[in-house]
Structure formats: structure tokens, C-alpha cells
């Protein structure tokens, strides 16, 4: 699992980023091209993925609660595997550490042994970045000489080391294992080995194609990237709040460092995959690669996650299933040879199995369970707070048995994001639960991105479907960047009348789908 990774990978047809190890995995995998997170911030997204419950069920929208006591005693994916006899292990950032996972990464419920966190992570936000003045700073752009860092290492290197060690410890065991490895990059700050910058010369960097705040973007939808403003190098530029913009040369530097961080993370993934080969485990080990959410690289004038746009919610999702997505491993033939991106410049991989339909991170738990032969949890009822084991996602295992089925207009993905007010505030990116006044519920179909910003009660965890603060509607075919909001609030009075006749038991997701049908009736030719 990668942190803050949008699908800027070769296997997702990105022509800039060099990611040969993940691309190699993808060439032997099922690649979901349109996978979406449930909330574009770490703790809520990871909790939703690992429990297969949406944020309104986990009741986690920030970093300040633990779902087992705050919402329900839900069974997690690793906990389910553990109950079926698997030895379960966690390395790096899998659950969000701290209060969202009870300061234990949900041990002993989810893991057979305590979770591992790389010791060098404690320096991540310290003054360890050498600036132009040759002094150490807590910078956003933080390419470093690794040998000069505390301990002479970096967190993702340590996590890869530990993951390989754990694989070796399980290689000769008769018990099946479940190993979750969470890499921190490309999450900010961009504290990465400096040599990876050479892959992305600054003179070859380009700005986002839509670097300006869209004219018809509702202010409630904008994420003011407060976290970045706290970094010393960006802070000294005195960028105006909330809309900026950041100077263009610094924008190019952010994009350069993000891409370099992706390539650095890709090499750690390669080390882990090649260990599967060396230990003879590649032929009977399923591998899933994903991210918790995306990250804006200047699109819409934003530099963060914290929104419902595709750049923040769309993630890579790759399933490698030996004997299903590829032929069984042949003795003596390497499945995942390590590729050093710093030493090789040309790469060529082809995805043989792609699925373009909309899927979600809540689908991972039921799908992986089914593929492992454990059986997917049953679908959750509309109200599932008392259900310890069920899924609000879909079992996608059937899609592994046939080729791409083409456009499916019934497939949808749901995301949401909370806000404290109608206009950007210093706490707009991650408001505490008590401060949430508005919730943006977003639906992504093949043709549209539709978002409705509704009044929200943080005491009851309920939106008011008649309290509409703003709306967004983007026609993806002609506006893939989601820059031209064609939602017209005057249309909504008709929808309110139609929705008033629905019984209260109709779910919010169903209401959004019906509203989108009304709004777009006759629009598609």
C-alpha cells in the first residue's frame, strides 16, 4: 500500500513517471483503471478499506476516534484472514497509527504479532533537509543524501527490509500468511534519496494542465492545502490564503519531487516482489497493490488530497493471482526480477487484463477473501452498526475470469468529504468531527462526477438531504479534468420535490443516483 499515490504509473498510461517494478507486477495482474477511495484522507480511507465499511458507518472522518468504540466492533480484513488460520503481519503505514487504530494498529485483533513501524520515521518532519543556505530545515522539498540522515536510512527502506525479513521467516512455514506493507511515499514531505531527482530534470517538468481554480467551483469544494503552508520552504514564500497561487518554479519543483518519490517507492516494491521470487513464494502468493487516495499536483489550484475530485479519490488497484491473472510460476524462471530504475532507462510492459468499470476500495476485502477461497463476507444491511462481519463493497472475483466487459453504466463509486463551512478555512482540509457542518457526497459514473454538498449533523452522523449548500456536475468525456461545473442550482428545486416522495429508508447512495438521472436526462446523446 502506498500513501497519497494517484495513478501516475506506467501501467496507468502515464508517460512521465518511471515505475518499472509496479508495471511489471501489473503485466501479470488484473488492473482496475477506475478505482476510487471513499474519503481522500489517510485514516478514514484506510479504515474503510480494511473494514469494507464507508465513512458514515465507521463514523471516522478525521484522526480522532477508534471505530471499535466509536461506531461498531467491525471485523477487519486481516482479522478475517487471521480467524481462518493465517499468520497476519503489518509493516509500515497500513492502519493509520495513533488513535484511529487504538495506538496498536488494531493489535491483537488484526495481527498475529505487533505491527512494525520504521524507527527513522520519527525524523520525517524534523529539520533534516539541507537548504540552499546549507542549514537544516523542515522543508517540503527534501531530497537528501541518505548516508547523512539519522541512522543512515529512510522509513520506506526500513519497511522494505523488515518486510523481506518477515517473508524469510514464513518461507518454510506450513501456515498461510497475510503480510500488509505500507510505504509512506509519495506522502509529503518529499524526503527521498536525492539521486531519484535525476530521473526528472526540472527543465522537463510541466505545470498541471488546469492550474487555476475553476470559475464555477463552489468555495466549499476547495481544499486550501494548509499542511503544505506549514513547511519552511513554502512558508517563506508567503503564498496568500486560501487560493495562492504558488510561484510556478516552486510548482515545478513539487511535481518533480512527487514523481521522484513515486520512483523511489517503486524500487522498494521491487525489492519486496523479488524477495517472493528468491524464496520460492511467487507461484502461490497473491499480491495486491493499491493506495489510500490520490493527491493534487496543481490541478484546480490545489496541492493536496482533501477533495472529491478524481485526482484526489482515484487510486491504483492491481491484483496478481497466480494461475488466474497469469500462468502458474515455472520453476527456475523469475516472475518479479528487481529492476533498478536508476540504472535502466527503457522499460516495456503491457497490461493484459484491464477493467475500466468503476470499483472502490471497500471492494478489496470481499474480493481478496473470495480469491483466497475464504468466501466473501455477506453484504451489509442498510443499517449495519451491529453487524461485526459484512461488506459495503462488492466481490469483484468474477471479473477475473473473463476479459474486459466494456462500459457498464450501472457501475458507480462513492466518495465523500467533510467541511466546517461554506468557504475555505484553516481547518477545511481535515476538520474535527465536532466542527463538521457540511458533507460533500460524490458519485462517479462512467460519464459523470456528481457531488452534492449537504448540511451535516456531527452528533447524529446524518446529512440533511434538503439542506443543499452547493452542487457539482462534470461531464467526464468532454471535461476529464473536471474543470467546468455544469450543475445549476435552479434545477434542484424539481429534484427536491421528487425526492420528497421517497420513503426515509431509501439510502443516500440511491438518492444520489436518482438525482443524477434527473439532472442528466436527455444530456447524453
Query: Mind listing the pLDDT tens digit for each residue in 17-30?
Result: 999 999 999 999 99
407 falls in which pLDDT band (50, 70, 90)?
Answer: low
Catalytic residue status for 187: no
Place of cell 471499535: 68
Q: Which range, 109-118, 395-404, 514-523, is most confident? A: 109-118
Q: Is residue 316 part of a domain?
A: yes
* Mean pLDDT, residues 177-184 taken together: 98
In a domain, 163, yes or no: yes
Helices (H) and strands (E) in the chain, counts: 13, 14
User: Which segment, 184-193, 325-334, 469-478, 481-490, is predicted with the most confidence on average?
Assistant: 184-193
Task: Give pLDDT, residue 305.
Answer: 97
Residue 393 CA from chain centroid, whole number: 16
pLDDT exceeds 90 at position 353: no
Provide the whole-model pTM: 0.95
In a domain, 305, yes or no: yes
Q: What is the pLDDT of residue 490?
A: 57
User: What pLDDT, in 10s, does the model give residues 145-161?
Assistant: 999 999 999 999 999 99
Query: From the candidates 11, 42, 142, 267, which is the catalytic residue?
Result: 42
Q: Give 525's pLDDT tier (boundaries 50, 70, 90).
A: very low
pLDDT of residue 51: 98
What does the pLDDT average to over 439-465? 95
Instruction: Supply angle C-alpha 425, 426, 431, rounded to 5.
Output: 85
Burial class (CB in 10 A: 0-12, 13-18, 19+), 484: middle
Q: What is the mean pLDDT of the chain?
A: 93
Residues 105, 114: Cα–Cα separation, whole Å: 8
Helix axes 364-371, 42-51, angle to 10 degrees: 40
C-alpha grid cell for residue 514? 436518482
Say which CATH number the domain at 58 has.
Answer: 3.40.720.10
Cis peptide bond upstream of 492, omega within 30: no
Contact 261, 190 (CB under 8 A): yes
Helix-helix angle 248-278:155-170, to 10 degrees: 10
Q: Any catalytic annotation for residue 96?
A: yes
pLDDT above 80: residue 505: no
Closest Cα partner for 382 from 506, 205, 242, 520?
Answer: 506
**What pLDDT was estimated at residue 491?**
64
Q: Is the per-residue pLDDT at 277 higher than 70?
A: yes
Residue 518's pLDDT band, with cuts at 50, 70 and 90, is confident
Residue 128 lies in domain: 10-222+251-403
Q: Does 487 map to a domain?
A: no
Does a structural domain hold residue 313? yes
Domain presence at residue 106: yes
Helix (H) or strand (E) holding 141: strand 141-144
What is the tally of structural domains in the chain? 1
Dist CA 242 CA 504 (whole Å): 38
Cell numbers at residue 246, please?
A: 504558488
Contact predicate 115/178, CB 8 Å: no
* Catalytic-role residue among 11, 96, 137, 184: 96
Q: CB of 158 within 8 A of CB of 124?
A: no
* pLDDT confidence of residue 345: 72
**Stretch among 244-253, 296-305, 346-355 having the lowest mean pLDDT:** 346-355
Q: What is the band of 356 on the pLDDT scale with cuts at 50, 70, 90? A: confident
Residue 244 falls within a domain, yes or no? no
Q: Report percent pLDDT > 90 for the chain.
A: 81
- Does 479 map to a domain? no
**Residue 359: band (very low, low, confident or very high) from pLDDT cuts 50, 70, 90:** very high
453-503, pLDDT tens digit by residue? 999 999 999 999 889 999 999 999 999 999 999 998 656 666 766 666 778
Amino acid at each position: 500500500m502506498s500513501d497519497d499515490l494517484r495513478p501516475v504509473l506506467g501501467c496507468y498510461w502515464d508517460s512521465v513517471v518511471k515505475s518499472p517494478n509496479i508495471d511489471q507486477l501489473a503485466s501479470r495482474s488484473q488492473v482496475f483503471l477506475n478505482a476510487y477511495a471513499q474519503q481522500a484522507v489517510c485514516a478514514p480511507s484506510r479504515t474503510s478499506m480494511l473494514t469494507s465499511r464507508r465513512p458514515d458507518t465507521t463514523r471516522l472522518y478525521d484522526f480522532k476516534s477508534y471505530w471499535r468504540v466509536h461506531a461498531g466492533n467491525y471485523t477487519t480484513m486481516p482479522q478475517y484472514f487471521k480467524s481462518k488460520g493465517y499468520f497476519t503481519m503489518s509493516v509500515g503505514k497500513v492502519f493509520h497509527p495513533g488513535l484511529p487504530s487504538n495506538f496498536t494498529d488494531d493489535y491483537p485483533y488484526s495481527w498475529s504479532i505487533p505491527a512494525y513501524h520504521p524507527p527513522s520515521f520519527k525524523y520525517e518532519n524534523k529539520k533534516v533537509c539541507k537548504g540552499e543556505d546549507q542549514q537544516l530545515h523542515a522543508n517540503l522539498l527534501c531530497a537528501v543524501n541518505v548516508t547523512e540522515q539519522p541512522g543512515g536510512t529512510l522509513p520506506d527502506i526500513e519497511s522494505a527490509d523488515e518486510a523481506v525479513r518477515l517473508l524469510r521467516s514464513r518461507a518454510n512455514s506450513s501456515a498461510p500468511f497475510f503480510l500488509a506493507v505500507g510505504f509512506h511515499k509519495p506522502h509529503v514531505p518529499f524526503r527521498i534519496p536525492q539521486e531519484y531527482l535525476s530521473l526528472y530534470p526540472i527543465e522537463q517538468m510541466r505545470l498541471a494542465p488546469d492550474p487555476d481554480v475553476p470559475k464555477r467551483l463552489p468555495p466549499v469544494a476547495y481544499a486550501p492545502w494548509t499542511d503544505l503552508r506549514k513547511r519552511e520552504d513554502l512558508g517563506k514564500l508567503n503564498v496568500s490564503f486560501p487560493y495562492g497561487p504558488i510561484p510556478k518554479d516552486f510548482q515545478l519543483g513539487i511535481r518533480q519531487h512527487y514523481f521522484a518519490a513515486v520512483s523511489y517507492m517503486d524500487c522498494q516494491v521491487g525489492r519486496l516482489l523479488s524477495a517472493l521470487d528468491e524464496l520460492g513464494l511467487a507461484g502461490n502468493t497473491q499480491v495486491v497493490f493499491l493506495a489510500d487516495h490520490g493527491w493534487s499536483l496543481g490541478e484546480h489550484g490545489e496541492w493536496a488530497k482533501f477533495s472529491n475530485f478524481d485526482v484526489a479519490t482515484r487510486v491504483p488497484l492491481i491484483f496478481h493471482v497466480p494461475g488466474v491473472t497469469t500462468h502458474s510460476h515455472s520453476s527456475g524462471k523469475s516472475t518479479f526480477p528487481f529492476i533498478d530504475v536508476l540504472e535502466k532507462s527503457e522499460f516495456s510492459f503491457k497490461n493484459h487484463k484491464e477493467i475500466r468499470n468503476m470499483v472502490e476500495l471497500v471492494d478489496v476485502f470481499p474480493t481478496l477473501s473470495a480469491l483466497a477461497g475464504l468466501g466473501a463476507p455477506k453484504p451489509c444491511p442498510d443499517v449495519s452498526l451491529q453487524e461485526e462481519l459484512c461488506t459495503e463493497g462488492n466481490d469483484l472475483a468474477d471479473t477475473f475470469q473473463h476479459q474486459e466487459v466494456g462500459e457498464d453504466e450501472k457501475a458507480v463509486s462513492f466518495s465523500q468529504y467533510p467541511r466546517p463551512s461554506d468557504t475555505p478555512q484553516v481547518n477545511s482540509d481535515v476538520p474535527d468531527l465536532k466542527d463538521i457542518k457540511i458533507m460533500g457526497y460524490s458519485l462517479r459514473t462512467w460519464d459523470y462526477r456528481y457531488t452534492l454538498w449537504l448540511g451535516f449533523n456531527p452528533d447524529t452522523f446524518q446529512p440533511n438531504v434538503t439542506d443543499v449548500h452547493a452542487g457539482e456536475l462534470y461531464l467526464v468525456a468532454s471535461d476529464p479534468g473536471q474543470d467546468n461545473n455544469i450543475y445549476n442550482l435552479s434545477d434542484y428545486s424539481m429534484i427536491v420535490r421528487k425526492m420528497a416522495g421517497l420513503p426515509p429508508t431509501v439510502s443516500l447512495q440511491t438518492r444520489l443516483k436518482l438525482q443524477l438521472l434527473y439532472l442528466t436526462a436527455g444530456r447524453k446523446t
